[in-house]
């Protein structure tokens, strides 16, 4: 009864008569369970584990066959027949609203596949979606977010990935096969990035390190870089050089404790900025370095002076998961004789050892001398006093000479990082200073300051968004993009008048917060009357654009917040080369001027 009523469709024409159809890998596990041979069960499948769980629970219970049958009969399956014009995804979302939340990736899958007829759905799943899921390790939500950031140059909020994806796909007019092919292509890049599996050992070595450095923030950039590689626009050596520059950029910022909040925006737009230079016949890595060096504020690339100053003060002991990256890089460098530092640290075979111990014994106090307290405080968690060992428990807080000469001591250490240590007779301030110098030079070698011989022409721009930590003063604007639409402009005054006009069209009520004249900033630049405020924003709203660039930027930030807009909704293209004379108070449009496409028509 159970077999024919619940498990199979005996009238189905194909040999696969099982009623329940799962995703490809789960289907194989389900068929093995149905066949009933435990030796062929797919043990790493949730389907198998769920089956075994219920088997064990039922066997351990006092339920008889009739009770089990009664329980099964109470289960309810909803089967809805849809017409072609029905929105399958919307219906599914409404039915699921009180159940377990779907992931953003689940919603995207349903959005793409649910409206297709069964045969086409099967083909699209087998040909595309199953590969997308495998390439992304079934983390489709994260992949989709990075893909959207790479394509749109704007990262959606985690909970808005599906809605952003849906809106973008509809706006671009993708057909299903075209969209799935695009996603499959980028998912393969995602696999290469996250699994360090490009097939080129130099590329994979850097990718592996970047994954240890928790560089997921750069994935939108990396997706575009590897698409360029696929198209043959960058060579493998150029990919290596580019990734090394980014690695140095990220690590130096981490050492210097530069806030990471600017990195999302930096990596969203980085590839596009580089490609502008490539179109000028620039070499990709050289243009990339030029772009990174041009970053300012919280997005800047720390130079050697800042890097070494931060190195000297950094606590390198309490660094959490970053120790895997740091000690792997310090020990292995670029050597082909690889020591698996990461796995052994994770398995607690290796550990980080203080050469001068955290607790000073009487013998250590004597060895360090009367300045022992200052030495201990200054050097304890510095790079000069830290190293790798597989015998931490043996060392404890023994005297240095014992740590060096005992069985498995530093003299016998196979770690490259311990070479200097093994040659010392004592461990005091002099040795700490000498090793500090060696480690400092190693840091500068492994994470070098970049330079570039690429030069921008006057008509190439860099791009910044409204809420970037960037000083716009003294920079000449070439164009701006508002809500996805790009407009060329003569100056900052023309830009702000154009943006205000478009914001007014969206929400005219917003501007009533800033008039009458004399209200809080930026109210003094608005008026009900035309006198002294020559530009007409909208009916009864006039604006005076006679202010500095920084004032315009601050005014726009306040207006955007009041209108519920994001800073990323407005970006500016600035000339790379600063003009010798910057007119920050240009002639601005008059009240009778009308904005069309960002330009003034009289």
Query: Could you give the CA distance from residue 120 to residue 112 in angstroms, rounded to a whole number?
Result: 11
At 68 the pLDDT is: 83
**Bridge partners of 570?**
482
**How much is the average pLDDT of 247-259?**
97
Cβ pair 19, 6 in contact under 8 A: yes
Give percent above pLDDT 70 in the chain. Answer: 86
**How much is the average pLDDT of 307-320?**
97
At 93 the pLDDT is: 62
Give percent above pLDDT 90 in the chain. Answer: 49
Confidence of residue 372 (pLDDT cuts 50, 70, 90): very high
Which of the residue ranges 63-72, 254-263, 383-392, 415-424 would you say has the lowest mean pLDDT? 63-72
At 536 the pLDDT is: 82
At 441 the pLDDT is: 98
**How much is the average pLDDT of 263-292?**
92
Query: Could you give the CA distance from residue 503 to residue 572 in angstroms, rounded to a whole number?
Result: 16
pLDDT (tens digit per residue) in 498-509? 999 888 888 888
In this structure, what token pair is assigned to residue 356?
A: 């001068």
The pLDDT of residue 596 is above 60: no
Query: Could you give the CA distance from residue 240 to residue 236 in angstroms, rounded to a whole number?
Result: 6
At 581 the pLDDT is: 40
Which of the residue ranges 258-272, 334-348, 478-492, 529-543 would you say has the lowest mean pLDDT? 529-543
Highest mean pLDDT among 190-199, 398-407, 492-501: 190-199
Confidence of residue 87 (pLDDT cuts 50, 70, 90): low
Confidence of residue 579 (pLDDT cuts 50, 70, 90): very low
- Contacts of residue 117, defined as CB under 8 A and 6 or more positions apart, other chains included, come to none
Which of the residue ranges 115-119, 203-207, 338-342, 366-370 would you say has the lowest mean pLDDT? 115-119
Domain regions of the chain by residue span: 2-73, 104-310, 316-446, 461-601
At 251 the pLDDT is: 98
pLDDT (tens digit per residue) in 215-233? 899 999 999 999 999 999 9
CB atoms within 10 A of CB 21: 11
Query: Is this structure's pTM higher than 0.85?
Result: no
Nearest 5°: the CA angle 187, 191, 196 is 150
Residue with tokens 């597989």: 390
Confidence of residue 584 (pLDDT cuts 50, 70, 90): very low
Query: Could you give the CA distance from residue 219 to residue 148 in angstroms, rounded to a whole number?
Result: 11
The pLDDT of residue 213 is above 70: yes
At 586 the pLDDT is: 41
Which residue has better confidence, 54 or 137? 137
Distances from the Cα of 446 to the Cα of 244, 328, 332, 438, 441, angstroms = 10, 12, 10, 12, 9
b vs e for 570-600, b when ≥16 Cβ sit within 10 Å of the residue's Cβ? bbbbbbbeeeeeeebeeebbeeebebeebeb
Which residue has better confidence, 456 or 597? 456
pLDDT (tens digit per residue) in 132-159? 999 999 999 999 999 999 998 889 999 9
Distances from the Cα of 109 to the Cα of 24, 277, 513, angstroms = 14, 37, 44
Question: What integer best gives the mean pLDDT of the chain?
Answer: 86
Confidence of residue 591 (pLDDT cuts 50, 70, 90): very low
Which residue has better confidence, 457 or 596? 457
In this structure, what token pair is assigned to residue 280?
A: 């000028």
Which residue has better confidence, 596 or 209? 209
Which of the residue ranges 163-167, 179-183, 395-399, 582-586 would you say has the lowest mean pLDDT? 582-586
At 208 the pLDDT is: 97
Q: Own/partner pairs for 151-156, CB < 8 Å, 24+ apart?
A: 153/268, 153/269, 153/272, 154/268, 154/568, 155/220, 155/264, 155/268
Query: Could you give the CA distance from residue 105 to residue 135 in angstroms, rounded to a whole number?
Result: 13
Strand order in the sheet with 526-527: 526-527, 541-543, 535-538
CB atoms within 10 A of CB 397: 14
pLDDT (tens digit per residue) in 510-533? 887 777 655 566 767 777 766 665
The pLDDT of residue 82 is above 90: no
Which residue has better confidence, 486 or 272? 272
Which of the residue ranges 1-15, 35-49, 180-194, 503-517 would you say has the lowest mean pLDDT? 1-15
Query: Could you give the CA distance from residue 477 to residue 497 in angstroms, rounded to a whole number?
Result: 14
């Amino acid at each position: 009864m159970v077999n024919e009523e619940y498990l199979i469709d005996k009238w189905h024409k194909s040999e696969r008569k099982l009623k329940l159809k799962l995703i490809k890998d789960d289907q194989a596990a389900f068929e093995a369970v149905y066949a009933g041979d435990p030796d062929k069960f797919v043990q790493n499948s949730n389907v198998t584990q769920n089956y075994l769980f219920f088997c064990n629970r039922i066997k351990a219970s006092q339920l008889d066959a009739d009770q089990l049958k009664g329980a099964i009969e109470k289960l309810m399956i909803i089967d809805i027949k849809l017409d072609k014009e029905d929105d399958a995804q919307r219906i599914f979302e409404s039915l699921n609203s009180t159940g377990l939340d779907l992931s953003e990736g689940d919603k995207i899958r349903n959005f793409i596949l649910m409206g297709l007829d069964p045969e086409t759905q099967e083909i699209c799943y087998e040909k595309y979606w199953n590969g997308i899921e495998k390439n992304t390790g079934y983390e489709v939500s994260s992949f989709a977010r990075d893909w959207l950031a790479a394509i749109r140059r704007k990262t959606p909020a985690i909970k808005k990935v599906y809605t952003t994806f849906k809106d973008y796909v509809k706006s671009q007019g993708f057909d299903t096969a075209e969209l799935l092919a695009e996603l499959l292509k980028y998912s393969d890049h995602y696999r290469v990035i996250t699994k360090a599996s490009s097939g080129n050992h130099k590329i994979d070595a850097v990718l592996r390190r970047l994954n240890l450095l928790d560089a997921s923030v750069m994935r939108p950039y990396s997706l575009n870089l590897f698409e360029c590689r696929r198209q043959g626009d960058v060579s493998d050596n150029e990919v290596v050089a580019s990734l090394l520059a980014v690695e140095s950029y990220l690590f130096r910022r981490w050492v210097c404790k530069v806030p990471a909040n600017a990195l999302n925006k930096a990596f969203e737009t980085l590839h596009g900025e580089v490609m502008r230079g490539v179109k000028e016949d620039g070499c990709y890595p050289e243009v990339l370095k030029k772009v990174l060096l041009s970053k300012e504020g919280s997005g800047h690339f720390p130079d050697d002076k800042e890097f070494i100053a931060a190195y000297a003060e950094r606590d390198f002991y309490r660094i959490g998961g970053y120790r895997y990256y740091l000690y792997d890089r310090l020990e292995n460098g670029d050597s082909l004789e690889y020591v698996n530092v990461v796995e052994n640290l994770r398995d607690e075979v290796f550990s980080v050892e203080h050469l001068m111990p955290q607790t000073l014994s009487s013998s250590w106090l004597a060895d360090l001398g009367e300045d022992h307290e200052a030495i201990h405080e200054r050097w304890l968690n510095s790079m000069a006093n830290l190293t790798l060992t597989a015998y931490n428990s043996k060392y404890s807080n023994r005297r240095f000479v014992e740590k060096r000469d005992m069985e498995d001591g530093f003299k016998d250490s196979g770690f490259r990082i311990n070479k200097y240590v093994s040659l010392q007779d004592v461990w005091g301030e002099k040795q700490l200073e000498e090793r500090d110098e060696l480690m400092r030079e190693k840091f500068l070698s492994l994470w070098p300051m970049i330079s570039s011989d690429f030069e921008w022409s006057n008509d190439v721009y860099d791009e910044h968004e409204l809420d970037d930590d960037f000083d716009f003063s003294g920079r000449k604007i070439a164009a701006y993009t508002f809500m996805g639409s790009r407009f060329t402009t003569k100056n900052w005054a023309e830009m702000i008048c154009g943006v205000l006009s478009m914001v007014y069209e969206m929400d005219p009520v917003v501007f009533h917060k800033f008039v009458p004249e004399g209200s809080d900033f930026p109210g003094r630049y608005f008026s009900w009357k035309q006198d002294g405020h020559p530009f007409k924003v909208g009916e009864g709203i006039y604006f005076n654009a006679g202010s500095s660039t920084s004032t315009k930027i601050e005014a726009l930030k306040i207006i955007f917040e009041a209108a519920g807009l994001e800073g990323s909704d407005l970006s500016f293209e600035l000339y790379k080369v600063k003009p010798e004379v910057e007119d920050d108070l240009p002639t601005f449009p008059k009240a009778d001027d009308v904005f069309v496409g960002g330009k003034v028509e009289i």
